[in-house]
Structure formats: structure tokens, C-alpha cells
Amino acid sequence: MLRGRTYEEVCRNFKWQIPKYYNIGVDVCDKWANDKNRVALIYANPHGQDREYTFRELKKISNRLANALKAHGIGREDRVGILLSQRPETLISHISVYKLGAIAVQLLTLFGPDAIEYRLQDSAAKALITDKENLSKIWEIKEHLPALKLMIAIDTDKEEGVMDFWQSVKKGSPDFRPVKTKPDDPALIIYTSGTTGQPKGTLHGHRILLGILPGFEFYHNLFPQEDDLMWTPLDWAYIGGSYDALFPTLHHGVPMLAYRPRKFDAEEAFFMMAKHGVRNLMAVPTVLRMMMHAVKHPRDRYDMRLRSITAGGETLGEELCDWSREHLGVEINEQYGQTECDLVVGYCSEIMTIVPGAIGKTVPGHVVEIIDEDGKIAKHDDIGEIAVKGPDPVMFLEYWRNPGATLEKYTGAWLRTGDYGRKDKNGNLWFSGRQDDIIESGGFRIGPGEVEDCLMKHAAVTLVGVIGVPDPIRGEIVKAFILPKEGVRPDEALEESIRDHVKTKLEAHAYPREVVFLEKMPQTNTGKILKNELRRMHEKGLNL
């Protein structure tokens, strides 16, 4: 647990505590089960009914499921796909798999059959836990999954070849001895989004949770504090929903609100946070912007109790930070990391001053620098690649069955993130862009994040995505895809205003020489803008 009154003091006091044996399932559940009344999960189901689960209850249910899985041949290091949304059965499945010493494969329910097939096939998953709604996708691809021997689903209506989740739980014994795993033993595969080529399976050991804890506690202003209650609108199949929110919360014995409607509704989100007294929120900037535009003065309408907000994955923007500070009474602590090495840079407003535009300082316990192509640490304010020095508990073990890609990820002890940025003399890191997103134009290297942040301050802009496109003279030019605010009519005057805004507010050479206005911005379920889709639209001359 982080301790100290200043950033420097917290860093000095921090020491890694990695035990010889460690199991995520035992840590987030069993260790708290002696207190029969301690609440772990508050589930607000789609029908508006709330149901509390205690740690003791989750221990018994997960033991029963672990016994059922074991009885059907699932054992140590077998891969188990979990294709479920934000609901109790998802958590129970994870805990059971970890206790078995098996490997959980997180799958997003929004995936189509092809995406699911690739991940189950690549991981050679032996079992799958899902629900009736997603089972139809599996039947489409089952013949291509020879390794898949066991399917368990919620509300199956007794389908042939499928075990019912709760019937399996009922038949299993409540007594189970968890497998004695070490921190480096494999526990989890999360597939990257695949910016180029097919997604890669990021294999993590049980120690991933221990490695994430300093960042989690940091971003949530020295979590836990009295009456803390966590919620995230992100799906638990994302590392942001599971390992940046759910599991670190339960590690501390603090309750988690499970609530995620099919379609995000900002008004309902404010209502639910007020109803349940949510104190800690993990989100992405796009979700926060939706909330900002939907409810300008939330504290006038809702009894908000927020103590901490953390967000990452894209540029926050000055307007969003100002709104949160003024209308929620909370500074947004930016976070930075990636699936392979998560939560290593950010801010903790409790003990430090947030520098607008920067992504934060190194989280206690980690070593993060800017390095050049040879792996040498760059000078202050020189642009280079953001890198994390190993060994580090939060680092992935390998890309699943892909040793070549694993080797390419490292230069010596440095894990290369593929992100570019700089570090100032005070230790603040500034993000420039992805390795494949950096725009080289007329001898200048332009970070799309800076251009996007600048354009988000334009009065007519709701969302913006910036990419580099080929140019015969300059190599590349900046192209901006813009979603205008409601009621704004795009025309040549607005296009010129947007160019001038960047010329005057950022840098003359960084202005978008091409501007496209969209009716809909291509985004992931968590709100991240799909840059690959923007590139595809450019290549085909399409607008949404």
C-alpha cells in the first residue's frame, strides 16, 4: 500500500512485496471470506434489481465451479475462455480458473464469430464459459475449434453439448484446495487490439495484479480510503475493466459495483453513481465527455460522492479536466500503460500537482524512461520511445506462442512500448503518439495526440481523430476527422477556422491540411477512436 504525503516520499517508502507463492483467486476472494458479512460485489442487473455478494459467498460458489471444471478435465495451464459481460458469473469464473491454476482468456461479448474463433483457436482453449445470448456465435465456429471440449453457459435451456452454469455450481462441492501457484505461473491471456496484423495473445503471470496495485492506488488518490466504492463503465473483458478496476479493488477487500447497460447512458450513469454512493471511477475520456455534454452541472441534480477519477487511453483535453474539477469536485488522474505492461505512468492529485497536457510521472515501483533507437536514455525534452525497465512484476511473460514478437518487444532490459514521448526536467512525461501514428511531415515529427488535444478546444468540435496520410512533397500531411457539435453545420469557413486554430494554438506546421467532417466517429465499445478505420476511410475516400 502506498504511503506518504508527497510524491517523493511515496516513492522512497515503496517496496515490492512479491511472495514465493501467490494466486489471484485466493487474493481477491478467499483471503476476505472469514468475514461473513463483507460485501465484494453489488450487482445492478438489467431489470433494475440489486443483489449483493459477499466474499464468503463468492468463495463457496467459485469452489463449486472449480470442482465442476476439474471433474471435466480442466487443470493446470489449460486455457478457459470467458465470454461474458459485467456480471457476477464473470467474476466467479475468473476466480475459479485461477484457483485451478488454469489460464483465463478474456473475450469481449461484442466480438463477432470470427474474432472469437481466432482467439479460441490461437489459445487452444479447452473450455468456454459464456451465456445463451453468445452461444449462437460459438455454434457457428465450433467445428473449427478442435481443442474446445467443454462449454458452460448461463440459461442454456438444456442445449445438447452444453452444461448449465448454475446447475454445474450446484453439483460441485463447496470445498476446494486452490493450486499452489507461483507469481510467474501463467494466469491470463488478453489479446491486443492488433494495430497491424492479427491480435497477439499477451500472457501474464499471477503477479500481474501485484504489479498493477501501485498504479491503481496512485491514480485513486492512495486507495483505499474509508467508504470507497469502485465502478467502471468498461467491460471486464478489457484490461481496463478487469485489472485496472475490478481485481485491485477486491484485493483490498473493497466492494465493486457491477453495472453495465448495453448502451451507455450518461444520465443513468450519474443516477447509479449517486444511488450507490460510488467514490471511485475508472473510465476513458470519451465516456467522461459524454457525461460532460449530457449533464453540465451534475452536482445540482445528483448527490455525488466521487473521491477519485482516473482515465487513460486517449487525450483528456483541458475542457474535460476543467469540467471535472469544477462540476464534480475531482481532478482527473491521467493513467498510462498498455496490455503488456500496465499502469506505469500517471498522476495522483492527492500528493502532487497535475501538469496540464502531460500524462504524469513514473508510478512508484517502476522505472520509465525515454530511450533512443539504441536503447540509451534520451536527454530531457528529446522525443524518443517510452520504455519500462525490467524486471518488473507488471510485465507480461510473453506473447502467446510467438517468441519472435516477444523478442522484438525488448531492447536489453527495456520493454519498448511503441509509444513516443518526452520527459521534462521535472520528471513529467509527455505523450507524442504511437510509433505507427507519428506523422513525419516536411522534416517535422508531429504527434497526433497534441493536434487532437488542440482541436478539442475548438468551439465547434465534439470528437476528433488525427492521422498522417501520404503526400508526394512532404512525405505525410495531417488529416483530421471531426465530429462537429450538435447544431454546427460544416462548411468551408469552419474548415478554415479549424486549420487556423491549430496554426495559432499549437504549431504552424502541425495544422490539418485535410479536414473531413463526420456524422459518426468510429470507436471501440470503450470509446477509443479507431485510427485504423480512419485510415481505411481515407484510402477508400469514405465518410461515415
pLDDT, position 474: 77
Q: What's the length of the chain?
A: 544
> Are residues 99 and 124 in contact, defined by beta-carbon separation less than 8 angstroms?
no
- Cell numbers of 359, please? 500524462
Q: Which domains does the chain have, with CATH numbers?
A: 25-206 (3.40.50.12780), 437-540 (3.30.300.30)
The residues pairing with 333 across neighbouring beta strands, listed in sequence order, are 310
In angstroms, the CA 485 to CA 462 distance is 5
Give yes or no for residue 45 having a pLDDT over 60.
Answer: yes
**Cα→Cα distances 463→44, 160, 359, 517, Å:** 30, 47, 20, 10
Sign of CA dihedral 308, 313, 317, 319: negative
Give yes or no for residue 543 having a pLDDT over 60.
Answer: no
Give yes or no for residue 438 having a pLDDT over 80.
Answer: no
In angstroms, the CA 248 to CA 229 distance is 12
Q: What are phi and psi of 447, to 5 degrees?
A: -85, 120
Residue 268 DSSP SS3: helix
**What element of type H or E holds 272?**
helix 266-276
Give yes or no for residue 75 having a pLDDT over 50.
Answer: yes
pLDDT, position 195: 41
> Are residues 24 and 187 in contact, defined by beta-carbon separation less than 8 angstroms?
yes
**Cα→Cα distances 368→239, 460, 531, Å:** 20, 37, 26
Rounded to a whole number, what is the largest CA-CA distance in the chain? 71
> Are residues 119 and 107 in contact, defined by beta-carbon separation less than 8 angstroms?
yes
In angstroms, the CA 505 to CA 260 distance is 38
> Are residues 348 and 280 in contact, defined by beta-carbon separation less than 8 angstroms?
no
Q: Which residue has the cell 502506498?
A: 2
**What element of type H or E holds 290?**
helix 285-294
pLDDT, position 284: 87
pLDDT, position 533: 92
- Cell numbers of 267, please? 444520465
Residue 403's CB is within 10 A of a number of other CB atoms, namely 9
Average confidence score pLDDT of the chain: 93
pLDDT, average across residues 322-343? 96
**Cα→Cα distances 23→4, 115, 419, 481, Å:** 28, 29, 32, 45
pLDDT band, residue 526 (cuts 50/70/90): confident
Q: Could you check whether the bond before residue 391 is cis, i.e. omega within 30 degrees of 0?
A: yes
pLDDT, average across residues 19-46? 97
pLDDT in tens, 133-174: 999 999 999 999 999 999 999 988 788 899 999 999 999 999
The fraction of the chain above a pLDDT of 70, given in percent, is 98
Residue type, 132: K
The residues pairing with 50 across neighbouring beta strands, listed in sequence order, are 44
Residue 487 DSSP SS3: coil
| Of residues 428, 422, 415, the one with CA closest to residue 389 | 415
The residues pairing with 477 across neighbouring beta strands, listed in sequence order, are 469
Sign of CA dihedral 537, 108, 337, 373: negative
**What element of type H or E holds 478?**
strand 475-484
Q: Which residue has the cell 488454469?
A: 102
Q: Among 70-79, 108-117, 295-304, 436-445, which stretch is predicted with the lowest mean pLDDT? A: 436-445
Residues 6+ apart with CB under 8 A from 408: none
In angstroms, the CA 42 to CA 258 distance is 6
> Are residues 481 and 464 in contact, defined by beta-carbon separation less than 8 angstroms?
yes
- Cell numbers of 396, please? 507480461
Residues 6+ apart with CB under 8 A from 139: none
pTM: 0.85
Query: Using CB atoms within 10 A of its CB, is residue 146 exposed (0-12), middle (13-18) or buried (19+)?
Result: exposed
The residues pairing with 414 across neighbouring beta strands, listed in sequence order, are 389, 411
pLDDT band, residue 525 (cuts 50/70/90): confident
